[in-house]
Amino acid sequence: MKKNIALIGNPNSGKTTLFNALTGGSQRVGNWPGVTVEKKEGKLRQARDVTVTDLPGVYSLSPYSPEEEVSRRFLAEGSADAVINVVDATNLERNLILTIQLLEMGIPVTVALNMSDVVERRGDTVDEKKLSERLGCPVIRVSALKREGLENLAATVLEQASYGMRIPKKFFKGELSKAISEISGMLEGHIGDDLLYWYSIKVMEHDPHVQGAFPSPVLERALETVRRTEDSLGDDGEAIVASARYEVVDSLVRGIYQKSEKGGKSLTDRIDEVVTNRWLAIPVFAAVMFLVYYLSITSVGGYMTDWVNETVFEENVLPRTADWLAGMGVEDWLVSLIVNGIITGVGAVLGFLPQLLVLFLLLALLEDSGYMARIAFVMDRILRRFGLSGKSFIPIIVGTGCAVPGIMASRTIEDERDRKITAMTTSFMPCSAKLPVIALISGALFGGSAWIAVSVYFIGVFSILVSGVILKKIRGAFGKASPFVMELPDYHVPSARNVVLSMGDRSWHFVKKAGTIIVLASGLIWLLTSYDWGLNPVGAESSMLASIGNALSPAFSPLGWGDWRAVVGTLSGLVAKENILSTFGILFGMEAVAEDGAEIWTYMATIMTPLAGFSFLLFNMLCAPCFAAIGAMRRELGSWKETALAVGYQCAFAYVVALAVYQFGLAIQGTPSFWLIPAALLVIGTGYLFFRNPGEPEDEVPAEAA
Amino acid sequence: MRTLKDVEEGERVKVISVSGDRILKRRLMDMGILKGCEIEVLKAAPLGDPVEFLVRGYRLTLRKKDAESVGVEPL
């Protein structure tokens, strides 16, 4: 019979390592429906018809975060026949809080007492037999890293899974225990017996999700008992239960963990003396960031990406396929669609892969070793004012090379809101594809001044920070903000297996999700630039895209560049920002265009003044990124709707900036135009969004018992 | 009343109250910060915030603003 085992435990408890050890390489990664929380499933190596579901790392089962909600629901609705609760033996008290809550639900629990190797190394001992007696469930000593105890664990949990019954363990004593029994008596019959105890506790905790499960009069009577208990014990129901759990845990662990005589600073403390040192922390961080960027974007990743793009695709796959198809007598237009549309699109996706692989490898190393938490700790203060997390630094820095891996690097940020805001603003940084555009404008209109590039980087950073503040203040968006209460785990050597699997998972996901949109979008652009509305093959200047550009150009004349060629250039930037140059080349009748577009400089000057050129540059730097980056955003934001809103925001922001720059520039030059007024209004409006006080956070509930 | 925010590096204190909005309070309690538990202040981040604490044998970081929710007294 198909069984399902759930794996649950604290973050940093070695759960991932255990999951990988139990399932080998058979895991599949997805998302839990409705939330951007990763869901992993795999087949148990010891019994191939048994599925292991890896629940997110949680400290508790409160109703306040998506990770906990997803775990609670999974367990409450009976999707798991048994649970493996990974407990970090070096952190018993905090880990057992979750264990108690699992036992309250009545599901068969097997505790995997992990990190046993660390305990041994320290010379400490743990009495798992006594713990097992007191908990009333099996406790198996394991070391996921050393792969010890796994067979025993698997056998035990499978036995547990065959029981098919839920028996909640009741640990509470005294007045709380009596109150819960009373509540159970009132709720009986309205809910299945197996979850009656658990629901009674939830009512005591004022759990919002559980309120709707009972008819009002029944609930009201139960709440009277709750209020009476709160008055008697002098605290809120939720706090009473939380305290009681810790009392239970304290009595459970007494005498279980014996520390050895060895004292002295642990390795983790010694490393932290340097890494979170007041003076050294930031230089160390800068060095690590540089290394990450260098390895993924410049050296290894960069070389391989160039190799894929140039050698593999441009020099081989594309021309050979084209020749082969033509030789088979395939129609020209179909050859063009396949080669220039589809294969080019696929090539674009695969081109990113080497950089992504290297980046994900490095990120997995940082996470698994425990250093990632230190990054968040050190950088939090600067970035949190701007709606970002300390870990947002990584996407931003990587994004100066390429926004695609940059956006994907935001995956490491736990807080949903920070993660989404980071994903949305990363592309404001100029990436390497935008450099040719900078060179073009600078060369054609500003005599090659280096200030143009410098200002673009500053405006990029400025845009990220300002947008972070604005977006953070939009209440109800981007999921709930969670308090920054973070554990700094012990350092340990990253597990090669974990790192490689993580790298593979995330890269594969990029290919699947982002890949689809890139291929489709490339095909679409190919269609729009190769044909006119009658579907006759034409040159770019008469194509559908050109007529779209023409139609949109009035919208851009207040920005100073209402020429249809500039608009078409911008649109072509959606495929890849460097395409802007080749598009201008085509539209000005050039065959080929150099890296800085030198051939078309004089032409550029005829359609834009320097001020207009700067406005054009800013718009293209800040507006929607290339399709690949949009695909990456879709992956992080989780829905098309949110992605569309994000892109909409970016374009609106870009428009306001470009408009303001051009109009204020005109005014300063002494030739103000009518559009100065709307420009000023928009700037004031943006300032309002930035400076306003959003009032009470919507998830604040008065501290007294509700 | 002194809160966790005012405690110096190296000091050890005992928690006497946990307040604040429901979500923060629950999170603090789930992580082991409850009436009667001992906390030691380890160090502040290079920029002054957040702060690292030793709680029930593990390292926890909290922002000063959130640390204000924890009322403490000397050990």
- Smallest Cβ–Cβ distance between B31 and the set A59, A378, A701 belongs to A59
Nearest to A8 by CA among A105, A135, A120, A125: A105
Place B33 in a pLDDT band, splitting at 50, 70 and 90: very high
A-chain CB neighbours of B23 within 8 Å are 64, 480, 482-483, 699
Q: Does A699 touch chain B (CB under 8 A)?
A: yes
Which tens digit of pLDDT belongs to each residue from A18-45?
Answer: 999 999 877 877 777 767 777 889 999 8
Residue of B nearest to A100 (CA): B30
Secondary structure letter of residue A623 according to DSSP: S
Radius of gyration for chain A, computed over Cα atoms and rounded to the nearest angstrom: 30
- pTM value is 0.84
Identity of the amino acid at B63: R
In contact, A293 and A401? CB cutoff 8 Å? yes
At residue A698, the pLDDT reads 45
Q: How many angstroms separate the CA atoms of A462 and A456, rounded?
A: 10
* Omega before B50 within 30 of 0, i.e. cis: yes
The residues spanned by each domain of chain A are: 3-161, 174-258
Nearest to A481 by CA among A470, A473, A493, A490: A473
C-beta atoms surrounding A204 within 10 Å: 24
The correct CATH number of A3-161 out of 3.40.640.10, 3.40.50.300, 3.20.10.10, 3.40.50.150 is: 3.40.50.300
Q: Are strands B38-44 and A3-9 parallel, antiparallel or unpaired?
A: unpaired
At residue A231, the pLDDT reads 95
Q: Does A124 touch chain B (CB under 8 A)?
A: no
Q: How many angstroms separate the CA atoms of A6 and A19, rounded?
A: 10
**∠ CA A454-A456-A460 to the nearest 5 degrees?**
120
Q: Does B26 touch chain A (CB under 8 A)?
A: yes
CATH number at residue B22: 2.30.30.90
Residue to mutate among B61, B62, B66, B70, with most A CBs inside 10 A, is B61
In contact, A650 and A424? CB cutoff 8 Å? yes
Q: Does B50 touch chain A (CB under 8 A)?
A: yes
Minimal C-alpha gap between B75 and chain A (Å) = 19
At residue A8, the pLDDT reads 97
End-to-end CA distance of chain B: 14
In contact, A410 and A395? CB cutoff 8 Å? yes
Give the count of domains, chain B. Answer: 1
Q: Does A696 touch chain B (CB under 8 A)?
A: no
Cite the DSSP H helix spans in A48-91.
66-76
Q: Does B32 touch chain A (CB under 8 A)?
A: yes
Q: How many angstroms separate the CA atoms of A171 and A166, rounded?
A: 16
Q: How many angstroms separate the CA atoms of A323 and A327, rounded?
A: 6
Check CB contact under 8 Å for A281 and B46.
Answer: yes
Q: Does B10 touch chain A (CB under 8 A)?
A: no
Q: How many angstroms separate the CA atoms of A93 and A113, rounded?
A: 12
Check CB contact under 8 Å for B31 and A487.
Answer: yes
Q: How many angstroms separate the CA atoms of A325 and A321, rounded?
A: 6
Residue of B nearest to A246 (CA): B32
B-chain CB neighbours of A239 within 8 Å are 18, 25, 29
- Smallest Cβ–Cβ distance between B23 and the set A97, A242, A699 belongs to A699
pLDDT < 70 stretches in chain A: 1, 34, 262-264, 475-481, 513-514, 591-592, 595, 695-706
- Smallest Cβ–Cβ distance between B23 and the set A64, A239, A384 belongs to A64
Nearest to A574 by CA among A642, A643, A625, A524: A625
- Smallest Cβ–Cβ distance between B57 and the set A60, A91, A485 belongs to A91
Q: Which two tokens stand for residue A326?
A: 């033509």
Check CB contact under 8 Å for B27 and A238.
Answer: no
Domain A174-258 has CATH 3.40.50.2300: no
Minimal C-alpha gap between B21 and chain A (Å) = 5
Q: How many angstroms separate the CA atoms of A584 and A603, rounded?
A: 9
C-beta atoms surrounding B5 within 10 Å: 17
Domain enclosing residue B55, as ranges: 4-74
Check CB contact under 8 Å for A378 and B63.
Answer: no
Q: How many angstroms separate the CA atoms of B23 and A385, rounded?
A: 20
In contact, A347 and A309? CB cutoff 8 Å? yes
Q: Which two tokens stand for residue A519?
A: 């291929």
Q: How many angstroms separate the CA atoms of A406 and A419, rounded?
A: 12
Q: Does B20 touch chain A (CB under 8 A)?
A: yes
The number of C-alpha atoms within 13 Å of A399 and in the hemisphere containing its C-beta is 32
Minimal C-alpha gap between B54 and chain A (Å) = 10
Q: Does A377 touch chain B (CB under 8 A)?
A: yes
Q: How many angstroms separate the CA atoms of A428 and A654, rounded?
A: 9
Q: Which two tokens stand for residue B58?
A: 């593990």
Q: How many angstroms separate the CA atoms of A458 and A329, rounded?
A: 53
3-class SS letters over A352-393: HHHHHHHHHHHHHHHHHHCHHHHHHHHHHHHHHCCCCCHHHH
- Smallest Cβ–Cβ distance between B59 and the set A282, A487, A703 belongs to A487
Radius of gyration for chain B, computed over Cα atoms and rounded to the nearest angstrom: 11
- What are the residues facing A316 on neighbouring strands? none
Q: Are strands A3-9 and A50-54 parallel, antiparallel or unpaired?
A: parallel
In contact, A535 and A640? CB cutoff 8 Å? no
In contact, A245 and A177? CB cutoff 8 Å? no
Identity of the amino acid at A591: E
At residue A701, the pLDDT reads 42
Minimal C-alpha gap between A268 and chain B (Å) = 11
Check CB contact under 8 Å for B43 and A62.
Answer: no
Helix (H, G, I), strand (E, B) or coil at A128: helix
Nearest to A39 by CA among A79, A88, A12: A79
At residue B69, the pLDDT reads 94
A-chain CB neighbours of B22 within 8 Å are 64, 238, 699-701, 703
State ipTM.
0.95
Q: How many angstroms separate the CA atoms of A296 and A298, rounded?
A: 6
Q: Does A251 touch chain B (CB under 8 A)?
A: no
Residue of B nearest to A244 (CA): B34
Residue of A nearest to B49 (CA): A381
Contact residues, A window 35-64, toward B, CB-based 8 Å cutoff: 59-60, 62, 64
Check CB contact under 8 Å for A276 and B49.
Answer: no
Check CB contact under 8 Å for B66 and A484.
Answer: yes
In contact, B18 and B24? CB cutoff 8 Å? no
Which tens digit of pLDDT belongs to each residue from A262-305?
Answer: 666 788 888 998 999 989 999 999 999 888 888 887 787 777 87
Q: How many angstroms separate the CA atoms of A91 and A10, rounded?
A: 10
Helix %, strand %, coil % for chain B, to 5?
20, 40, 40
Check CB contact under 8 Å for A242 and B34.
Answer: yes
Q: Which two tokens stand for residue A673?
A: 């135009």
Minimal C-alpha gap between A700 and chain B (Å) = 5
